[in-house]
């Protein structure tokens, strides 16, 4: 019966070993976070397309769509995020999608 030979590994360069170890950890984090699932993305949100009229604000538009269980400021944040707006400023003629949640 042959005896099993165990190969012993020796760290030649600590600098190279730490670089390899750091690289593996970074790759592990990248892989881990790339599989992160956003629960909001799993369900489709119904929306209502609204053209902005003169004098409309996100606050005034949101009052018509916000549910009783949600704070209007949170709803406005959702509208901004959903429409990829850079600020709360909207212009007449602009198309805004208003999320519709169960009331």
DSSP-derived letter for residue 89 is: -
Domain boundaries, the chain: 43-100
b/e map 48-74, b = 16+ CB within 10 Å = eebebeeebebeebbeebbeeeeeeee
pTM value is 0.55
As averages over each run of 10 residues, the pLDDT of the chain (103 residues) reads 70 89 92 67 77 94 87 92 91 93 67
Residue 15 is predicted with a pLDDT of 93
pLDDT of residue 26: 94
Query: To 5 degrees, how large is the angle CA 20–CA 21–CA 26?
Result: 100
Right CATH number for 43-100 from 3.30.70.580, 2.40.30.170, 3.30.230.10, 3.10.350.10?
Answer: 3.10.350.10
Instruction: State residue 93's pLDDT score.
Output: 94
43: how many CB neighbours lie within 10 A of its CB?
7
């Amino acid at each position: 019966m042959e005896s099993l030979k165990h190969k012993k590994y020796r760290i030649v360069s600590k600098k190279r070993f730490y670089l390899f170890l750091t690289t593996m950890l970074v790759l592990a984090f990248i892989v881990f976070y790339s599989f992160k699932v956003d629960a909001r993305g799993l369900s489709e949100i119904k929306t209502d397309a609204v053209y902005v009229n003169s004098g409309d604000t996100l606050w005034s538009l949101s009052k018509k769509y916000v549910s009783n269980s949600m704070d209007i400021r949170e709803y406005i944040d959702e509208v901004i995020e959903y429409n990829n707006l850079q600020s709360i400023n909207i212009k007449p003629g602009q198309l805004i999608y208003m999320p519709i949640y169960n009331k």
